[in-house]
Structure 1
Amino acid sequence: MAHLRELRSRLTKAVLGIVLGTIIALVFYEPILNWLSEPYSEIRPELEAQGINTDLVLTGVGGAFTFQLKICLIAGVVMSSPIWLWQIWGFVLPALHRNEKKSAILLTGIGAPLFVAGAYGAYLVLPKAILLLIGFVPDGWGSLLTGAEYLNFVVRMVLVFGLAAEIPLVVTVLNRIGAVSAAQLAQFRPWTIITIFVFAAVATPTTDPLTMLFLAAPMTILYFVAEILARFSDRRRHRERSKLADDELSSLDD
């Protein structure tokens, strides 16, 4: 019951943090909206030069309210992430051993910047992606892009690029727990690279090779980095085992 009460308390604090972040986002709704629509505004002159008239529109009586609420809720979750992440850690960390706590904190400290870097990369490639997709509009036609469609497109790109940036972290964790070795990573490297490019082609909503390469190339480089880290980890593990006497080694480790 004590654990359940603590869980209820931490969930309440996390929800209150998200509500607070959403309220702050409502206050700064205009700057947030301008920041989100900047990639679209950046490519409008190029589309108009091609003879394509395009506009962002909101449909329905309550469309503007729903759109604003959705943006503020997403922004609130992002802004309040230190609060609800701390509540999650506060509930989980007491159950971990000292070494596990250090590893968890280290992984969080590395994973968060990687995700932010990937998300920022998605924001940089958004103008090119939007320009390419809207560029398929036939001559003499216009393009009306609803706010909901645009927001879903932006969120999808950010999540895909952000999660893709976590590749070295995932591979390193698998190596540390003994699931894969550096030799196995090197053996399956060609297939892994092919899988990365297939994932990039499917995950990116555009059909041009440039956007696919913008996602696949960093993923491949990060995989190589993870392979190098795994090689160092295997060498250190081998040195530690060599220091033990023969009767201290388990047959399962050989």
Structure 2
Amino acid sequence: MAFRRARNPDARMSLGDHLRELRRRFLISAIAVLLCAVGGWVAYPQVYDRLAAPFNDYKASHPSSVISLNFGNATAAFSQQLSISIFVGILASSPVWLYQLWAFIVPGLTKKERRISLAFIGATVPLFLSGCALAYYVLPKVLAVLYGFTPAGASNIQQVSEYFSFVTRFIVAFGGAFLMPVFLVALNAIGVLPSATMLRAWRPAVFGIFVLSAVATPTPDAFTMFLMAIPLVFLYFAAVGVSKLIERSRRANRPEWVDVADDEASAL
């Protein structure tokens, strides 16, 4: 006689179940990154030219500057192609690993809450890629400022690995910053961060966004800082609005007997 597994109406998971769930989602994400990295390896020449374009444009506009990219040893070219392929894999597979991350953080939503939150999580990929695109847009200005500190008569011969490491981290950092509202909604969905708390803390949140934007865009003009800060402020308040919708849905589905005092009789 076969025994049925006990039902788990609360959808609670043990620590071992959480670890196995984490491992499963990590493997799915890693396989997606690996497969997309293969495509990045094939498209390496085009990606290299695109990422090196801000550097080459600066070099062309400053013909008197002694500045160039340098492969330092025999294995540098291979290592650089591998790292850029992985970078392409991370960007191209973002729909997969962003979904896996969200599904692991917020596993226990009701059907209605899931519809509301999925409408917002559906924007994660455009948000992430928009942040990356914005980083690429401001990158030439950032390089112009940084290379401007080179003393007259000095050369600025960079290792290719160092340049591309800076560029890829800069782009991913912008993309990650644009995911801020997704994690705010996730914290709200699991009951850690109420929307009222986010709304009360809007002043320090906006201040922190501008500080982050100033650090991430080290240029003397305020335009670049506002270019990053204003979308993040808008996304912060959008996260507050979505969190309020989730809370309203949760209250509507909350049984009446839950709010009855222990010494009173409920309809149940």
The two structures, once aligned, show a CA RMSD in angstroms of 4.0
Equivalent residue for 1:206?
218
**Structure 2 unaligned blocks of 5 or more:** 1-18, 263-268
TM-score by length of 2: 0.70
Quote how far apart the aligned CAs of 1:133 are: 0.6
C-alpha distance in 1, partners of 2:191/2:54?
43
C-alpha distance in 2, partners of 1:27/1:163?
26
1:163 is matched with which residue: 152, 165, 176?
Answer: 176
Quote how far apart the aligned CAs of 1:19 are: 4.5
Quote how far apart the aligned CAs of 1:110 are: 2.2
Quote how far apart the aligned CAs of 1:232 are: 5.2
Equivalent residue for 1:147?
160
Matching of residue 73 in structure 1 with residue 91 in structure 2: no
8 Å Cα contact 1:47-1:131 kept in structure 2: no
What's the secondary structure of 1:136's corresponding residue?
Answer: coil
C-alpha distance in 1, partners of 2:25/2:249?
39
C-alpha distance in 2, partners of 1:171/1:237?
17
Alignment of 1:34-113 (within 5 A): 34-48=49-63, 51-80=64-93, 99=111, 102=115, 105-106=118-119, 108-113=121-126
C-alpha distance in 2, partners of 1:194/1:13?
37
**Structure 1 unaligned blocks of 5 or more:** none
Equivalent residue for 2:228?
215
8 Å Cα contact 2:141-2:219 kept in structure 1: no
Q: Name the one with the larger helix percent.
A: 1
C-alpha distance in 2, partners of 1:11/1:189?
34
Alignment of 1:8-23 (within 5 A): 18-23=33-38
Equivalent residue for 1:127?
140
2:192 is matched with which residue: 172, 179, 182?
Answer: 179
Equivalent residue for 2:259?
249
Matching of residue 240 in structure 1 with residue 255 in structure 2: no
Q: Deviations over 1:64-87 (max 9, x none)?
A: 12112221232234445566778x
Q: Which amino acid is 1:44 matched to?
A: K
8 Å Cα contact 2:181-2:238 kept in structure 1: yes
8 Å Cα contact 2:87-2:168 kept in structure 1: no
Q: Which amino acid is 1:240 matched to?
A: A
Equivalent residue for 1:224?
237
Q: Structure 1 residues 108, 68: closer, same or farther in 2, change over 3 A?
A: same
Quote how far apart the aligned CAs of 1:187 are: 2.3
Quote how far apart the aligned CAs of 1:239 are: 7.6
Q: Which amino acid is 2:77 matched to?
A: A
8 Å Cα contact 1:182-1:227 kept in structure 2: yes
Q: Deviations over 1:123-169 (max 9, x none)?
A: 11111111111111111222112211111111211121111112222
- Which is worse superposed, 101-110 or 156-165? 101-110
TM-score by length of 1: 0.74
C-alpha distance in 1, partners of 2:196/2:95?
38
Quote how far apart the aligned CAs of 1:31 are: 0.9
Matching of residue 189 in structure 1 with residue 202 in structure 2: yes
What's the secondary structure of 2:157's corresponding residue?
Answer: strand
Q: Which amino acid is 1:249 matched to?
A: D
- Which is worse superposed, 101-110 or 139-148? 101-110
Of all paired residues, the percent bearing the same amino acid is 29
Quote how far apart the aligned CAs of 1:115 are: 0.8
